[in-house]
Chains A and B, each alone.
Chain A
């Protein structure tokens, strides 16, 4: 499957995956972040139950401390 991840096309061998699996496959380990799929924010507690589909637009944003 192909998805758009932060405006870049990314290919995965799986046909379907949930958000947690995507984070694991990409080795995204930094914990403080927000993820939006097709413009909808996905809260942390729904990472396991939210499926990413072919052609989905996934935006991920890391949150750094400081302000």
Chain B
């Protein structure tokens, strides 16, 4: 009997090994078609949200759910994925247009809403992963509390600490547990003398997209 159990265990390990190898051996078109099966929610379409959405669209994520209530201002163009001729437009509409120009196969759902504790579970229902992409720390806190309490089990990738320039080596990725992942230096608070600039915001946004892909590649 002991022998039988050992044999089964060995078989499980071999299957897992082969499955892992298949993942490693996927080429880009296979990866893209795998990612095409999933839906990712992005809360906020500013510096983090717009850049993260574009990276996910290029990688082939099937459906993106974008939510933001803001209008593009000239001052946003220092870091957000918009163009000068889009100033004055709604961020969600402009981002959908930019994503479609990059990869028309992505299905983009937009919500012009200020997110709150009530509408977050409705707007992001059915999402396989949610990306926190707000500017204000209060909103980050509200979203994390809401998703972790009301949408238990849905992985959440947050951005915290990206103001200023340089110090690329302080920006890191940290898995807190199976449902909470953090990207950023966790210490640089944005302020007048430590503003948000494209490079560090872009690093964190792309790190979030990278975390999303890592999570989705493990799902079937």
Binding site for B on A (CB under 8 A): 32-34, 36, 39, 41, 43, 59, 61-67
Contacts and interface: CB of A to CB of B under 8 A. Distances in A.
A62 B149 contact: no
Contacts of B159: 66-67
Interface of B: 44, 46-49, 133-138, 140-141, 144-145, 148-149, 158-163, 176-177, 179-180, 182, 184-190, 196, 201
A65 B188 CA distance: 8
B145 A34 contact: yes
A67 B201 contact: yes
Contact of A65 (B135, B185, B201): B135
Contacts, number: 82
Contacts of B140: 32, 63, 67
Contacts of A63: 137, 140-141, 144, 158, 160
Nearest to B133: A67
Nearest to A61: B182
Contacts of B141: 32-34, 63
B73 to A, nearest CB: 15
B144 A41 contact: yes
Contacts of A67: 44, 46-49, 133-135, 140, 159, 162, 196, 201
Given A36-B177, A64-B189, A67-B134, 8 more contacts: A33-B141, A41-B145, A41-B149, A59-B177, A62-B187, A64-B184, A65-B189, A67-B48
A8 B186 CA distance: 17
A43 B201 CA distance: 28
B145 to A, nearest CB: 6
Contacts of B184: 64
A33 B187 CA distance: 12
Top 8 closest pairs, chain A to chain B, by CB:
A66-B190, A41-B148, A32-B137, A64-B161, A67-B48, A63-B137, A65-B137, A67-B135
A36 B176 contact: yes
Nearest to A33: B141
Interface centre among B46, B185, B189, by most A CB within 10 Å? B189
A39 B175 CA distance: 12
25 contacts: A32-B141, A34-B141, A36-B177, A36-B180, A39-B177, A41-B148, A43-B145, A59-B180, A61-B158, A61-B180, A61-B186, A62-B161, A63-B158, A64-B161, A64-B184, A64-B187, A64-B190, A65-B163, A65-B189, A65-B190, A66-B47, A66-B162, A66-B201, A67-B44, A67-B47
